[in-house]
């Protein structure tokens, strides 16, 4: 069945992000080093300690049928938009529906629906609550809607692992194909929770940047002046196929998903932990049959927190070494939580395919303790035979994905 280490390929990409309304626009904006973080102009943000976010460039409801959009939470809308793009980009594979699966991770699911409908219940009573509330707020909603859209009957799965969710989604998709349970899997992550409550919560936890007057400079991974992440929204999905299936239909292949590693720290609910990250990376390397020296690029999780960036830098140095180029795209997009791992994967895939690495934005005063070859100043043209994409989440979730050239 072609379930060996080289048997899974990437044939389609889809994204909607703070940098662009599709995957190509997002990638080109990354190469230009653009900023996707802006001030929140709504009145509800005026009294908050945090008033910046990375919001998507294109409203998802504008790309959907009006009635359908009203029945979907924003995170479901974003997932559906990205899934449609990825599916079209892959050439809309003709596949047995029972051999087609979907895996869409999310950190908070339909948080906007949950919070919004609770406000309606409190202010206006039960009769004003939407009858679509439950399917809009449930975390498996994005995967379910994508499966309905594509007619996928091989399973619709939802990893909920905070900021590792998107990465874990691709890892599960890899397993489904390697185990012979699917020929094609649409996988990734989605998130939409720019709302007063999450913003206030992260601010109280001192996890979010408070550079409200400098939104473009707020997310600064690996910089000595980093003061927290910036909340973002968006979705990233990819089409993964059994290599033989893709070859038989003459599909264009971006890269191979050669290996994946998923671990848990069992250490602390929020603090990053190097041993778990190192094990995830080493598991991915073993899964791919690669040595640390083979890795040319690391798409770092690098959220722009003081402790988190340093712990990851040490993990990369221990598991991979200091030879690889490293970049941190959250400097441009903010932190997309459940979609972060999937967007990092898309950037890794394009780096492998195009032979170019986007630079890290806002790295003006590199932290001397990082000790890595972080790409700055502009995109770096270089062969990328293997790229590692990291994603780590609250709860001690660690995901590492390895992509290689086709």
Tell me: pLDDT of 327 over 70: yes
pLDDT single digits (tens) 29-39: 999 999 999 99
Active site residue 157: no
Phi, psi (deg, nearest 5) at residue 162: 50, -130
Active site residue 335: yes
d(CA 99, CA 89): 19
The tokens describing 93, both together, are 């594979």
**Active-site residue among 195, 208, 335, 397?**
335
Q: Using alpha carbons, select from 256, 274, 257 the residue that is nearest to residue 265.
A: 274
pLDDT single digits (tens) 290-299: 999 999 999 9
Q: What is the mean pLDDT of residues 39-58?
A: 97
Tell me: pLDDT of 310 over 70: yes
213: burial class by Cβ within 10 Å (0-12, 13-18, 19+)? exposed
Tell me: pLDDT of 206 over 60: yes
Looking at the chain, the whole-number percentage of residues with pLDDT higher than 90 is: 98
Place of tokens 């047995």: 96
Residues whose CB is less than 8 angstroms from the CB of residue 333 and which lie 6 or more positions away in sequence, other chains included: 17, 18, 19, 36, 37, 54, 219, 232, 234, 343
What radius of gyration, in Å, describes the C-alpha atoms of the chain?
20
**Active-site residue among 75, 157, 163, 193?**
163
d(CA 310, CA 332): 19
Tell me: pLDDT of 2 over 70: no
pLDDT single digits (tens) 53-100: 999 999 999 999 999 999 999 999 999 999 999 999 999 999 999 999
C-beta separation of 333 from 232 below 8 A: yes
Read off the pLDDT band of 1 (50, 70, 90). Answer: very low
Active site residue 208: no
Q: Using alpha carbons, select from 159, 157, 161 the residue that is nearest to residue 144.
A: 157
**Active-site residue among 157, 208, 273, 301?**
301
d(CA 321, CA 105): 30
pLDDT single digits (tens) 240-268: 999 999 999 999 999 999 999 999 999 99
pLDDT single digits (tens) 346-357: 999 999 999 999
- For residue 223, the cross-strand partners are 366
C-beta separation of 23 from 344 below 8 A: no
d(CA 373, CA 364): 14
């Amino acid at each position: 069945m072609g379930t060996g280490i080289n048997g899974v390929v990437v044939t389609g990409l889809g994204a909607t992000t703070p940098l662009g309304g599709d995957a190509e626009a997002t990638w080109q904006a990354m190469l230009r080093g653009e900023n996707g973080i802006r001030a929140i102009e709504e009145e509800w943000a005026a009294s908050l300690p945090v008033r910046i976010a990375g919001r998507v460039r294109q409203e998802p409801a504008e790309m959907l049928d009006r009635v359908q959009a009203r029945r979907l939470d924003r995170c479901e809308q974003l997932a559906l938009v990205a899934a449609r793009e990825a599916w079209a980009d892959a050439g809309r594979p003709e596949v047995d529906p029972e051999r087609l699966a979907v895996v869409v991770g999310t950190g908070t699911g339909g948080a906007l629906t949950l919070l919004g409908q609770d406000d309606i219940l409190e202010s206006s009573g039960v009769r004003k609550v939407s009858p679509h509330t439950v399917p809009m707020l449930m975390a498996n909603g994005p995967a379910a809607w994508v499966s309905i859209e594509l007619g996928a009957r091989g399973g619709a799965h939802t990893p909920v692992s905070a900021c590792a969710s998107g990465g874990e989604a691709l890892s599960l998709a890899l397993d489904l194909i390697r185990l012979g349970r699917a020929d094609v899997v649409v996988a990734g992550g989605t998130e939409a929770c720019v709302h007063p409550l999450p913003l206030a919560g992260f601010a109280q936890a001192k996890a979010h940047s408070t550079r409200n007057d400098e939104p473009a400079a707020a997310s600064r991974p690996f910089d000595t002046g980093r003061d927290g992440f910036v909340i973002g929204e968006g979705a990233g999905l990819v089409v993964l196929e059994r290599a033989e299936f893709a070859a038989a239909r003459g599909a264009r292949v971006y890269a191979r998903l050669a290996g994946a590693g998923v671990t848990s720290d069992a250490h602390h609910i929020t603090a990053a932990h190097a041993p778990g990250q190192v094990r995830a990376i080493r598991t991915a390397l073993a899964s791919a049959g690669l040595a640390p020296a083979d890795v040319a690029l690391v798409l770092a999780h690098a959220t722009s927190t003081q402790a988190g960036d340093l712990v990851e830098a040490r993990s990369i140095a221990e598991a991979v070494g200091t030879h690889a180029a490293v970049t941190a795209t959250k400097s441009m997009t903010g932190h997309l939580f459940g979609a972060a791992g999937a967007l990092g994967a898309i950037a890794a895939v394009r780096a492998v395919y195009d032979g170019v690495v986007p630079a890290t934005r806002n790295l003006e005063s590199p932290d001397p303790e990082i000790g890595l070859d972080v790409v700055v100043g502009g995109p770096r043209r270089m062969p990328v035979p293997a790229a590692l994409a990291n994603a780590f989440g609250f709860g001690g979730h660690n995901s590492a994905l390895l992509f290689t050239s086709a």
